[in-house]
Amino acid sequence: MYRLKNMNFTHIKRVAARAFALIWLTALLCGCGEGGGAPAPFSKYFNMDVGGKPFEAQVAVDDFEKMRGLMDRRELGENSAMIFVYDQPQRVSFWMKDTLIPLDLALFTSDGTLREIKPLYPNNLNPVNSARADIKYCIETNAGWFEKNGIAIGAKLSTDKLEAAIKAREKK
């Protein structure tokens, strides 16, 4: 009899824990609680422009998203990109572990000014570092995209569109 009671109590604890986890996950996914509405998912593309050229971009805001980047993708749309957003201006470093497509890396200061463009090669583990210590935004595009579109150092990123995308991505 003791064993049966003990087993039932353990089973009840397990069911209660699962129910609590399910309720918590449902609330998280539904965006319940303060702030209303769930944040836009990492997979969402936002309309952006740089140097007057429109493109669409995913916006990486947290460390996991920035670490993951474009890894394991076999292609990137012709006018698609990923924007990496940093909390503070800093020196940045990128590598191409498990990244299968050649990319250009564009580095921007807080005011949205393009300061550097660097090539990134598939599966290259050598770090590519910014020359500057005041980089706030980085954009990865298909290799040659900036040159093909006539975008050079000094071009401006539409920071109002980027700020709206960042706000949409924020965790509530």
> pLDDT tens for residues 22-50?
444 344 334 433 344 567 787 889 999 99
Domain extents for the chain?
Answer: 1-38, 46-169
- Say whether pLDDT at 149 is over 80: yes
Q: Using an 8 Å Cβ cutoff, are 88 and 122 in contact?
A: no
- Say whether pLDDT at 171 is over 80: no
Summarize the confidence of residues 155-164 as an average pLDDT: 95
pLDDT of residue 14: 53
Across the chain, mean pLDDT equals: 83
Structure tokens belonging to residue 1 = 């009899």
Question: How many residues are given for the chain?
Answer: 172
CATH number of 46-169: 2.60.120.1140
Higher local confidence (pLDDT), 13 or 109? 109
**Element spanning 140, H or E:** strand 135-142
Summarize the confidence of residues 152-157 as an average pLDDT: 98
pLDDT of residue 37: 59
Residues facing 147 on adjacent strands: none
- Helices vs strands, H then E, count in the chain: 4, 8
Higher local confidence (pLDDT), 38 or 1? 38
